[in-house]
A and B are shown apart, each in its own frame.
Chain A
Amino acid sequence: DVKVTQSSRYLVKRTGEKVFLECVQDMDHENMFWYRQDPGLGLRLIYFSYDVKMKEKGDIPEGYSVSREKKERFSLILESASTNQTSMYLCASSLTPWTSGYEQYFGPGTRLTVT
């Protein structure tokens, strides 16, 4: 079974802190994604990576950056956390680059609260 793990289930940070969210997948998938999930808005794509060190902005990249130094690991970075970044963050992976025709496998999510 594909497994996507996220480093924390719950995280509380202060405004202005630098925050790292880590995601690891164990199925050698090419694509990895970071989404944020907010009630009534569904999932919104923050960043996407199709290979090591390669990334593409999603719909809401402002205030975020990402890092993919190894194929299995994709990190989301909040450079200076703000209260409007309080949300559920979901990581996902899928098999084949540059196509949305494959299912995504999701981690359990990290609920981040910024105070």
Chain B
Amino acid sequence: AQSVTQPDIHITVSEGASLELRCNYSYGATPYLFWYVQSPGQGLQLLLKYFSGDTLVQGIKGFEAEFKRSQSSFNLRKPSVHWSDAAEYFCAVGYTGGFKTIFGAGTRLFVKA
């Protein structure tokens, strides 16, 4: 069965430091991959997505993610974190022929001054 793992429940980084959030998925073929962000009290907003082609994808708010097939990973990165990036981040996977998107458990990001 398809699954998504976000190994880190929460991460704390200093403002201005770099960030990497990890995501691993389980699926036999090339999946559709997404990162969503949820600010406090809000719904989820799409940061970026990967369907095919260049394995390094750029998203909104200065985020990027890299698809690594050999590692079944789709890690999210940002070179310099801002206090407004404090939120919960969800990795999600869709698959060919399926209607369901599978979400990871989420990683909560704390940013310290």
B11 interface residue, CB < 8 Å from A?
Answer: no
Check B49–A99 contact: CB distance below 8 A. no
Check B90–A108 contact: CB distance below 8 A. no
Most buried by B among A40, A43, A48: A43
Contact of B99 among A40, A48, A107 (CB under 8 A): A48
Q: Mark B38-57, 1 if CB is under 8 A from A, else 0.
A: 00011111100101000000
Contact of A31 among B42, B99, B103 (CB under 8 A): B99
- For the complex, what is the distance from the CA of A99 to the CA of B96, rounded to whole Å? 7
B63 interface residue, CB < 8 Å from A?
Answer: no
- For the complex, what is the distance from the CA of A67 to the CA of B101, rounded to whole Å? 21
A103 interface residue, CB < 8 Å from B?
Answer: yes
A4-B43, A109-B43 known; A100-B105 Cβ under 8 A? no
Contact of A40 among B45, B95, B98, B105 (CB under 8 A): B105
Check A58–B100 contact: CB distance below 8 A. yes
Interface size range of chain B in the complex: 20 to 34
Contact of A101 among B42, B90, B94, B106 (CB under 8 A): B94
Check A100–B94 contact: CB distance below 8 A. yes
A42-B105, A101-B94 known; A106-B99 Cβ under 8 A? no
A104 interface residue, CB < 8 Å from B?
Answer: yes
Most buried by A among B46, B49, B100: B100
Check A42–B90 contact: CB distance below 8 A. yes
Which residues of A from 71 to 115 have beta carbons under 8 Å from B? 90, 92, 97-101, 103-104, 106-109
Check B100–A43 contact: CB distance below 8 A. no
Chain A residues proximal to chain B, CB less than 8 Å: 4, 31, 35, 40-45, 48, 50, 56, 58, 90, 92, 97-101, 103-104, 106-109
- Which 3 pairs across A and B sit closest by C-beta, in order of nearness? A100-B94, A106-B43, A43-B103
Given contacts A97-B99, A99-B97, 5 further A-B contacts (CB under 8 A): A48-B100, A50-B99, A100-B98, A106-B44, A108-B43
